[in-house]
Amino acid sequence: MADTKVYTASTTAPVNIAVIKYWGKRDTKLNLPTNSSLSVTLSQDDLRTHTTAACSSTFSTDTLILNGESQDVSGARQQACFRELRSLRAALESANSTLPKLSTFPLLIVSENNFPTAAGLASSAAGFAALVRAIANLYELPQNPTELSRIARQGSGSACRSLFGGYVSWEQGTETDGSDSLALEVAPASHWPQMKAAILVVSAAKKGVSSTSGMQATVATSELFSHRANVVVPQRMEKMKQAIKERDFETFADLTMKDSNQFHAVCLDTQPPIFYLNDVSRAAIRAVDEINKKAGKKIAAYTFDAGPNAVIYYLEENEQAVLGALNGGLEGVEGWKNVTASADVSIEE
Ligand code: 2P0
């Protein structure tokens, strides 16, 4: 009798915000980066993607629905994730003939973010991480998060870091097939649970230059870029791992702010220049500098991705000093989101 059952599995994946930034690819098809990067995972209570994956012989075609809207799945990124996951499932099925042939069924993926997709809050990272985990759960794959991160990376580079909670590195790797370009846990969230983050939503508008095209323009035209990728970031990766290991917030903050500034410097060095920061972003930078000056040490660290919104890291004990000053002193901020910076990833079945 034909198998007409609908198989389903659900999961959630968190947003991550890099403190050592990914910017530049050596292989655009496999999303292989020109430098390693390191991120902090945000709490799923605040920011996450929830995804259900289903498959059935009764479905007609692969379908992806994001926040209620049907998405195109013919792109190379989605196709690469589907292909890799199906091939892992097919290997299980050929080893065990009693397993249902899920690898041959069309997929239906339904995804919801609990935050605005357009707000520049790394939605593609959580989105592809959740998609890969949901299908891996559906297929009952034995692969661990690092092995799955290789697949999520092909969906969106930064997505590979959202397979873990806590503090996560994406090791650039040297192989041309991407087999060693994957995410590793630097420390679990429980190692440094006092870490908090506040997101200043300066603008919820979609960014002007996409990360994917912006980073390749930088690789092609910036003279500063190779110094960053080859000299600065390798040293910073080591120092950042050490700072996290030692729970040394001052060094963490110093490296985080320097790396954000250098990422935006290579954007400015791109032709034509890419501007992600605006006047409000710059006011946030000055406000954090003032907070740190007043405290006599670094108690707050700003970082900006490919847009004007600020993420401010701080330790719980300094919440009053940091948020009080930011709340009082910044105009032009559309909204606030105080989030727990670091959280364990738990699988929601
Ligand atoms: C990061 N960003 O490390 C950096 C900092 C933006 C600035 O990863 O083309 O959406 O999908 O691999 O992952 C954004 O780039 O780019 C990003 P693709 P992605 O978080």
Domain boundaries defined on the chain? 7-189, 195-340
What interhelical angle do 145-155 and 76-95 show, nearest 10?
Answer: 150
The architecture that CATH gives domain 195-340 is 2-Layer Sandwich (3.30)
Mean pLDDT confidence for 313-333 = 85
What is the distance in A from the centroid of ligand 1 to the CA of 99?
Answer: 37
User: What is the three-state SS of the chain?
Assistant: CCCCCCEEEEEEEECEEEEECCCCEEECCCCEECCCEEEEECCCCCCEEEEEEEECCCCCCCEEEECCEEECCCCHHHHHHHHHHHHHHHHHHHHCCCCCCHHHCCEEEEEEECCCHHHCCCHHHHHHHHHHHHHHHHCCCCCCHHHHHHHHHHHCHHHHHHHCCCEEEEECCCCCCCCCCEEEEEECHHHCCCEEEEEEECCCCCCCCCHHHHHHHHHHHCCCHHHHHHHHHHHHHHHHHHHHHCCCHHHHHHHHHHHHHHHHHHHHCCCCCCCCCCHHHHHHHHHHHHHHHHHCCCCEEEEECCCCCEEEEEEHHHHHHHHHHHHHHCCCCCEEEEEECCCCCCCCC
pLDDT tens for each residue of 234-282: 999 999 999 999 999 999 999 999 999 999 999 999 999 999 999 989 9
Confidence of residue 335 (pLDDT cuts 50, 70, 90): low
Is the CB of residue 259 below 6 angstroms from any atom belonging to ligand 1? no
Is the CB of residue 211 below 6 angstroms from any atom belonging to ligand 1? yes
Does residue 220 contact residue 298 with C-beta atoms inside 8 Å?
A: no
pLDDT over 60 (residue 146): yes
pLDDT tens for each residue of 283-311: 999 999 999 999 999 999 999 999 988 99
pLDDT tens for each residue of 25-36: 999 999 999 999
- Which atom number of ligand 1 is nearest to the Cα of residue 153? 12
Is the CB of residue 124 below 6 angstroms from any atom belonging to ligand 1? yes
Mean pLDDT confidence for 128-146 = 97
Is the CB of residue 37 below 6 angstroms from any atom belonging to ligand 1? yes
In this predicted structure, what is the pLDDT of residue 347?
38
Domain covering 7-189, topology: Ribosomal Protein S5; domain 2 (3.30.230)
Mean pLDDT confidence for 205-213 = 82
In this predicted structure, what is the pLDDT of residue 120?
58
In this predicted structure, what is the pLDDT of residue 349?
34
pTM of the model: 0.94
Mean pLDDT confidence for 3-15 = 96
Pick the more confident residue, 24 or 1: 24
Same CATH fold, 195-340 and 7-189? no
In this predicted structure, what is the pLDDT of residue 346?
44
In this predicted structure, what is the pLDDT of residue 44?
81
What is the distance in A from the centroid of ligand 1 to the CA of 325?
Answer: 30
pLDDT over 90 (residue 345): no
Mean pLDDT, all residues of the chain:
92
pLDDT over 80 (residue 334): no
Least confident of 41-50, 121-130, 245-254, 330-339: 330-339
In this predicted structure, what is the pLDDT of residue 341?
57
In this predicted structure, what is the pLDDT of residue 338?
59
The highest-confidence range among 55-64, 118-127, 208-217, by mean pLDDT, is: 55-64
- Which atom number of ligand 1 is nearest to the Cα of residue 25? 12
Can you tell me the ipTM of this complex?
A: 0.99
pLDDT tens for each residue of 17-66: 999 999 999 999 999 999 999 999 998 877 889 999 999 999 999 999 99
In this predicted structure, what is the pLDDT of residue 348?
39
What is the distance in A from the centroid of ligand 1 to the CA of 198?
Answer: 20
CA distances from 126 to 98, 253, 275 (A): 34, 24, 25
